[in-house]
Structure 1
């Protein structure tokens, strides 16, 4: 028979033999070797003769240390959870550059453990420990569940049947290549090639996607507020419809092209774990939306006064209300797309990372089309080229104002 040395050793009735097996196992463990006890029994396992201890070396994968180092740089805390002996776990942790504050799970976890209700002192230990050795499936599950209760987002890797409960409980269970069917079924992410380096790639891509979703949400809320309040306030205060039905349809179509390319945009990758902060997102988008409304309403009032009082404004002269509708159409299209540059990052819009080429050219193409439509009178009343330039200058000036406001919001909400 073969098995864990501490279990096989109990077959012998000689204490010296038992001690020698355990000492040999500890000596091998301190060098990072696993041990397998071998014995022979002639009475169905009641007693036995110890034949020896086999040493086995199971080194970490070549990319494990680099992956762990990369995860640490991403602000992720990495813990070791293993069924191996504590000494082996500590030795392996040293080779991987991990913390060596590793506990024997069989000693610190109660025998009548309820994984869903871990004692308070054990919860604190789980948070502080660098890892646990000699763990059983219920220990792994309890560790994951406890970390989640403490507010952490937990990812776990594993390959065996005994990992399945914890993989299922984790926010992102990851089954490594060659994992059992049970582990693969329980995991949310399955690695198809050997090694762990792809985990860091997954983290980076996930954070990029998160940043794109955040950018889109802030942009969409702010732009919707702008259009909605412009139409409502103009109708109430001036008894004037700033947009025709065809303008709204064309504007929606022009907005769709840049919005679709947000999925391919270059984004700043956070160096620490990020969470969905609905309050922060709504606050940012609402404040930007309010100032976007001010931007549009100010131009509307200037244009409206120019129509009602010809000659009262020397620089920005509007001939009639139909032209004013075209002006507001172009302002919303141009200003809305420039707002996208502001919402896509928390710093100046002209700093790295620059917009992805597909996003940049999507905006350029739609703006060229909108300008041509306004100058040539496609779908909208015609306005002069000079007036188109004035609207663009106005929007660019407001782009800097909105960017400053965005950075102030980020600073205040940190």
Structure 2
């Protein structure tokens, strides 16, 4: 294997002294045993996260619109000397705070588990070989390799290399800074260009800026669901506010005491507040994120899962995602005067093992397997990595007492640097195109002695076979309604060969995107194109913009530092397995497995969460209409409040407890991308709400005369409480399915919550609570049966028909 050695005495004095003091060296690094000793002594390379105290977080649950309303009701109960109402209101307030706090703790634990999996990894020399470890395990004296796209994991002294760093996150200075051998690198900076090896001088809280860079994105963009729910709640507030105003006016005209009317008015307003949504959505997202993490998808932005539900175009890298990312040397074509062994040997010399680059590793494996190294001990004096600007790698190597300049890269780039004529280059390209049609990638290899001219040695063909499951997964994504577009830097013939093997159709060249024709609306970038060839990383941003301008929700995969703008621009940025730290930081999801299987899981999970949110919205709209309408219409018809403030508060919290359980419900992801145009579904919810209102008022009219409710205020309160509760519970069973309610079974957690709520409602009916006086069991059973037969019978049929007529937004 090629040697990468630098004589210790040739290093700058500051570097040599640092190595000596730390007890480390560039050839072997630290031993694992010594690293463990230092890790125990100095602690992990991290700064403990500061979190609010648990007590403060719990007390925060008593602050907010819904909490204020319950507290005001408790205060009014105190003023009116309703001790039982006061105790129950305070008890409900505490129970809600405890449940919300516990669910938040559970979600926090899920996020913490994800953060553990999203920690930065680094290439470190341990026991004489390069290893990939967590940045938290770094210790003073470790030898670390950094390259473009990496975060600097700790304070380091650059032993070898030339870098350009972005320190904006640390100093606020947006201009990149140059760093070379002997310079200090501060932990948390981002490597924008170049690569190098450094020795760790400080970790964790001992670093200059006192922290390490965390990968989990801190930005929390506004979610579509928040905007949609806010719009729905605003309309509900308008409707309920109008009903409350009518109630207050009628109460005033009937000379009813304000203190008797105000509590019920407050509760009606509270019914429009999305009390359960934050907890339900947080739990749903946390559970979804944890499930995805077990399947290999790490969510770094909350919007990632949500946007995955609406994504309709996926742009995916070829290498490593659609192919095996295991390049192998298939063929070499040496120039006259050179042999196959020469092509392999000099290509290997222009490679760097420390970077773990697939192309470099392919040549190094080929050189090692064929025994090319024997008799040629080499020392790499300098190495220039591949970049989009140069399109080649270049190394200055000391071998057999002489100095060589070794180059490998794009055929035309290297051939022009070697001084070949255009005719000769075109002849080579024609020769290479024959192999390119088989899906093989061509690289040119050249060398120069000392300061002599560069000489083309020959061509090398690398092949990266498609993954066995790629064609199947592409077909599955298409069945889910997604367009899949392959992006590759390979030449058009290579891209077309791979696309044919994967079942993809037309492949276009990225330069065509910049033509005048493609700039027109509806041009070739969108219609009838299954991928793009000759793609540079910076071209991905252009592809995303063109697709978004055509009205698509775009997913984009990437792995390099230059992919970051495209990953951030795409609604669903996906950093693939082995991506750079900068790419991971810009993405909304990180894959831990190669291939598309994780993306399929992400799409299905996102659509499942979307369905749960839709179920909540339907329930919220229909139940608000039912509760507010029932109380106001009953008051206008009878001149009495059919339910007390305490009964309404109890009803709100009991049904919200069930709605939180919707986060665990078993749902069917839809077969096409979702859309936040939920107007048709809201109309369905309004229709169901008014239908339940009519049905419940009919039951009240029946009970008013047959059950003697007109002369028994306490029993009227209980009767109304049970009526609204049972209609709400059966409504959840119905609307959780867009089809007939029996099409799927609810989750165990949801089923238990519904049964527990129904049992508690029957118990309160039998024994009573405060002003809710006991009712005969027969009346409670009549109410339960009436609500169940209507909601799961004609109401469910109407729901199915209206959903089908007005356009299904769900499954």
Q: Which residue of 2 aligns with 1:102?
A: 507
Q: Give the counterpart of 2:721 among 329, 346, 352.
A: 329
- The answer to whether the 8 A contact 2:443-2:461 is kept is yes
* Structure 1 stretch displaced more, 239-248 or 168-177: 239-248
- 1:76 equivalent to 2:482? Answer yes
Task: Decide whether aligned partners of structure 1 residues 151 and 14 sit closer, same or farther in structure 2, where only a CA change above 3 A counts.
Answer: closer
In 2, Cα distance between the equivalents of 1:18 and 1:245? 86
Greater percentage in helix:
1
In 1, Cα distance between the equivalents of 2:424 and 2:602? 50
Q: Give the counterpart of 1:221 among 621, 626, 632.
A: 621
In 2, Cα distance between the equivalents of 1:73 and 1:364? 37
Q: Which residue of 1 aligns with 2:552?
A: 152
Which TM-score applies when normalising by structure 1?
0.89
Q: Give the counterpart of 1:166 among 558, 562, 566.
A: 566
State the 1:209 CA deviation.
0.2
State the 1:318 CA deviation.
7.4
Task: Decide whether aligned partners of structure 1 residues 180 and 122 sit closer, same or farther in structure 2, where only a CA change above 3 A counts.
Answer: farther
In 2, Cα distance between the equivalents of 1:121 and 1:197? 33
- The answer to whether the 8 A contact 1:73-1:271 is kept is yes
Q: Which residue of 2 aligns with 1:35?
A: 442
Q: Which residue of 2 aligns with 1:233?
A: 633
* Structure 1 stretch displaced more, 245-254 or 196-205: 245-254
Task: Decide whether aligned partners of structure 1 residues 289 and 360 sit closer, same or farther in structure 2, where only a CA change above 3 A counts.
Answer: same
Task: Decide whether aligned partners of structure 1 residues 58 and 44 sit closer, same or farther in structure 2, where only a CA change above 3 A counts.
Answer: farther
State the 1:225 CA deviation.
1.4
State the 1:125 CA deviation.
3.8
State the 1:333 CA deviation.
0.7
State the 1:138 CA deviation.
4.0
Structure 1: which 5+ runs fail to align? 311-316
Q: Which residue of 2 aligns with 1:411?
A: 804
In 1, Cα distance between the equivalents of 2:438 and 2:739? 50
- The answer to whether the 8 A contact 1:127-1:147 is kept is no
In 1, Cα distance between the equivalents of 2:434 and 2:522? 29
Q: Give the counterpart of 1:129 among 516, 519, 529.
A: 529
Q: Which residue of 2 aligns with 1:314?
A: none
State the 1:375 CA deviation.
1.4
- 1:120 equivalent to 2:512? Answer no
CA RMSD of aligned residues (A): 2.4
Q: Give the counterpart of 2:662 among 242, 258, 262.
A: 262
Greater percentage in strand:
2
Which TM-score applies when normalising by structure 2?
0.47
* Structure 1 stretch displaced more, 364-373 or 248-257: 248-257
In 2, Cα distance between the equivalents of 1:285 and 1:297? 18
In 1, Cα distance between the equivalents of 2:555 and 2:435? 31
- Offset from partner CA, 1:372-392 (integer Å, 9 cap, x none): 210122442111111112112
State the 1:44 CA deviation.
7.6
State the 1:131 CA deviation.
0.9
State the 1:79 CA deviation.
0.5
- The answer to whether the 8 A contact 1:67-1:199 is kept is no
Q: Which residue of 1 aligns with 2:467?
A: 61
Q: SS in structure 2 opposite 1:51?
A: strand
- Offset from partner CA, 1:326-356 (integer Å, 9 cap, x none): 11111111110100011111111112x2111
Higher relative contact order (CA 8 A, sep 6+): 2
In 2, Cα distance between the equivalents of 1:295 and 1:341? 17
- 1:25 equivalent to 2:416? Answer no
User: How do residues 354-373 of structure 1 correspond to structure 2 at under 5 angstroms?
Assistant: 354-373=745-764
In 2, Cα distance between the equivalents of 1:121 and 1:401? 48
State the 1:289 CA deviation.
1.3
Q: Give the counterpart of 1:293 among 693, 697, 703.
A: 693
* Structure 1 stretch displaced more, 379-388 or 63-72: 63-72
In 1, Cα distance between the equivalents of 2:756 and 2:585? 46
Q: SS in structure 2 opposite 1:174?
A: strand
Q: Which residue of 2 aligns with 1:51?
A: 457
Q: Give the counterpart of 1:385 among 777, 788, 801.
A: 777
State the 1:182 CA deviation.
2.4
Task: Decide whether aligned partners of structure 1 residues 370 and 284 sit closer, same or farther in structure 2, where only a CA change above 3 A counts.
Answer: same
* Structure 1 stretch displaced more, 188-197 or 285-294: 188-197
In 2, Cα distance between the equivalents of 1:149 and 1:340? 39
- Offset from partner CA, 1:39-67 (integer Å, 9 cap, x none): 3457989x753210011112233443333
In 1, Cα distance between the equivalents of 2:493 and 2:579? 25
